[in-house]
Amino acid sequence: MPRTLREVVFVDGVRTPFGKAGEKGIYAQTRADDLVIKCIRELLDRHPELPKERVDEVAVAATTQIGDQGLTLGRLAALLSGLPNTVPGYSVDRMCAGAMTAVTNVSSAIAFGSADIAIAGGVEHMGRHPMGEGVDPNPRIISEGLVDESALVMGATAENLHDRFPQLTKERSDAYAVNSQAKLAKAYEDGKIQPDLVSVATRHAEKGWGLASVDEPPRPGTDMEMLAGLKTPFRPHGKVTAGNSAGLNDGATACILAAEDVATELGLPVKMRLVSYAFVGVEPEVMGIGPVPAAEKALAQAGLSIDDIGLFDLNEAFAVQVVAFLDHFGIPDDSPKVNKYGGAIATGHPLASSAVRLMIQLARQFEENPDIRYGMNAMCIGIGMGGAVIWENPHHKDYGKDA
């Protein structure tokens, strides 16, 4: 029997406030799995029109899949969120693009017809589980010259990107970082971030009970002078600092994806339609360049050009990585099309969870900009990869005409 692929839509997404990793962070004594469970429960509460038994899959990403981020987290999160035990689940690992991969995996299943509705997301508790905890990289990757040793240290790859492209100066990175902080502060002031946050009750043996209701990492008021003198931990006299990089963070995200006809049947909202996606490999030593070929591949698949993309929500693992993307495509570093609500440098980057935050923010910007038809999420990925996803705005007058 010939098959017809179905259109896949982004129904809704939520996230916890992001915290600082470590004993002083808001989630220091909160379990990682409880963070993503809170997100899934919030989605189900927000959408009583979605019968729980209609959820066909739960995919949850985590970069460090041990402890409270292990044991097939997607399945356990499904059970603990109150979904029927007939709903399966699984875990995903593609480092920073874990949640992006969870979304594209379940979207492919929906398009193929093996699922109607799925929940995808990610969690990272970098305070409990620092990146690389318990791993044992095969020494051959270094000894046989497959990669340079710097490829295993993400900050060092950002320094390599500065080396590769001298026009990507520290000043440009710092200016980009200052702008990211300012845009997030403005977005909070304008109430753009709060609707997508789910508050989390916390408990600490010394601090007692608390409520996480806003992001912990932002540093509003950051300026160029404050960033100029920061240490360069990855290289003496380098260009990558804590000020122009995302921090070490804890947090979780989750979203609902559905076949468009099923969303219509159940009365679920449609916030975006999936157009195309792509993952690529690049030299691990300059992993930050990964979003460039990933975007080019996704654009080619969709028959679009970079000029067709009216909004970008890009992950800011390092400012130089985003500036490299913008430089390649001839987009100004301070373009209003890019990260209108700020990015990971201000918000935080709990690794595998971050991509759904990008999607949530892009969906909200689509609502505010019905004149813009297409948007893109993109991110660099550890060990030399990049990912990009293109979405269509359902509020645009030509939505779905060439679907």
> Any idea which residues carry the catalytic annotation?
96, 349, 380
* Cβ 342 vs Cβ 358: under 8 Å: no
Helix (H) or strand (E) holding 280: strand 272-281
Alpha-helical regions (H) of 149-202: 154-164, 170-189
Distance between CA 212 and CA 229 in Å, rounded?
31
* Beta-strand runs (E) in 86-137: 89-92, 117-125
Whether residue 140 contacts residue 146, with contact meaning beta carbons closer than 8 Å, is answered with yes
Task: Locate 121 and state its tokens.
Answer: 């997301």
Under 8 Å between Cβ of 339 and 364: no
Distance CA 101, CA 388 (A): 10
Residues forming beta bridges with residue 166, ordered by sequence position: none
Cα–chain center distance at 331: 21
- Give me the amino acid identity at 135: V
Q: Are 295 and 388 in contact (CB under 8 A)?
A: yes
Q: Which amino acid is at 218?
A: P
Q: Which tokens sit at 318?
A: 């390092």
Q: What is the DSSP letter of 94?
A: B
CB 268 within 8 A of CB 24: no
Tokens of 17: 């406030």
**Which residue from 102, 96, 71 is spatially nearest to 154, judged by alpha carbons?**
96
Element (H, E) at 296: helix 291-302
Residue type at position 256: I
Q: What Å distances lie between residue 18 and 129, 139, 398, CA to CA?
A: 15, 34, 36
Count CA within 13 A, CB hemisphere, residue 197. 19
Residue 8's nearest CA partner among 317, 256, 321, 313 is 256
